Structure 1
Amino acid sequence: MFPDVATHYLWWIVALVLIGAEVLLPGYFLLWIGIGAAATGLLALVAPLSMLAQAIAFVVFAFLSCAIYWYALRPRMRRTEQSESRLNRRGEQNIGRQYVLAEAIVNGRGKARVGDGLWLVNGPDLPAGTTVEVVAVEGNTLLVKPAA
């Protein structure tokens, strides 16, 4: 087809086209096939193979890179998305954290210092200065328990 061009260059061009298509039509799929094409180009550079062997290597590399994404990277990315799902819910970001009471909890209500501000807290009666852990959020009020 292109007798004067080394086949590894053709594989790298295919890789660039696939990765460029991924940029235009994002979906996390063409990227991994493009990585398979780039790996095939690297293999063709190192070991001269027939076109059939290169095509088989491309299929293997494409499936391998897609599998690495699907089983290794995708679960990690989902955990990141879940942690970012609290981005605009400031109260929920405090669940599990510990704070010091700025005002005693009397009759179930008090205030805790969170960052540079004070938040309303509900929980058992405790003196000021006690370390508490946030267990839930109701509106803009933190539900707390004594820290262990």
Structure 2
Amino acid sequence: MSVAAHYLWWIVALVLIAIEVIMPGYFMLWIGIGAAATGLLVLLLPGLSMLVQAIVFVVLAFVSCAVYWYAVRPALQKGEQDDGRLNRRGEQLIGRRYVLIEAIVNGRGKAKVGDGQWLVSGPDLPAGSTVEVVAVEGATLKVRPA
């Protein structure tokens, strides 16, 4: 192999990472990292035969994929919080406090939630009172005085 064999491994790494960009899924990225690490090793140890380089590449590709599978992926999944309420906005409001913009009269009123307003039901309270959401019934928040 020529003196610049490490460039071959870096080109392979770039091609694999480019494939990852086109078809995302993490797999090719980590194999590409293995190829880049092989290129670095070949740069540091230029006398390695092509067979040894190929074996080193396979080992590094497996190691980098294992690092992804056992270390990176669990950390990424831990960051994802799926509490089952993603598309049920009303349930996400339970436990939060809001200010009434319309008094609750005969059990009905309105509260300011973010930049909008929601219908609320609960005990009669004057406008400006702070309420806490305790449940959701359809598009109406059930509240209690906070």
Distance 2:81 2:26 in 1: 15
Match of 2:63 in 1: 64
SS, match of residue 110 in structure 2 = strand
RMSD: 3.3
Percent identity between the two aligned chains: 72
The letter for the 1-side match of 2:96 is: R
The letter for the 2-side match of 1:97 is: R
Using the TM superposition, name which of 115-124 and 10-19 deviates more.
Answer: 115-124
Match of 1:39 in 2: 37
Distance 2:97 2:24 in 1: 40
Shift of 1:100: 1.6
Give the TM-score, by structure 2 length: 0.69
Shift of 1:33: 1.1
Shift of 1:119: 0.9
SS, match of residue 102 in structure 1 = strand
Q: Which runs of 5+ in 1 are unaligned?
A: none
1:29 aligns with 2:27: yes
SS, match of residue 144 in structure 1 = strand
Q: Which has the larger radius of gyration?
A: 2
Give the TM-score, by structure 1 length: 0.68
Paired residues, number? 143
1:8-27 aligned within 5 A = 8-27=6-25
1:102 aligns with 2:95: no
Match of 1:7 in 2: 5
Quickly say closer, same or farther: Cα 1:105–1:63, change in 2 above 3 A.
farther
Distance 1:30 1:82 in 2: 27
Per-residue CA deviations over 1:37-85 (Å, capped at 9, x if unaligned) read 11222233234462455444434432333233334443454444748x8
1:119 aligns with 2:103: no
Quickly say closer, same or farther: Cα 1:74–1:92, change in 2 above 3 A.
farther
Q: Which runs of 5+ in 2 are unaligned?
A: none
Quickly say closer, same or farther: Cα 1:47–1:118, change in 2 above 3 A.
same
Tell whether the 8 Å contact from 2:3 to 2:46 is kept in structure 1 after alignment.
Answer: no
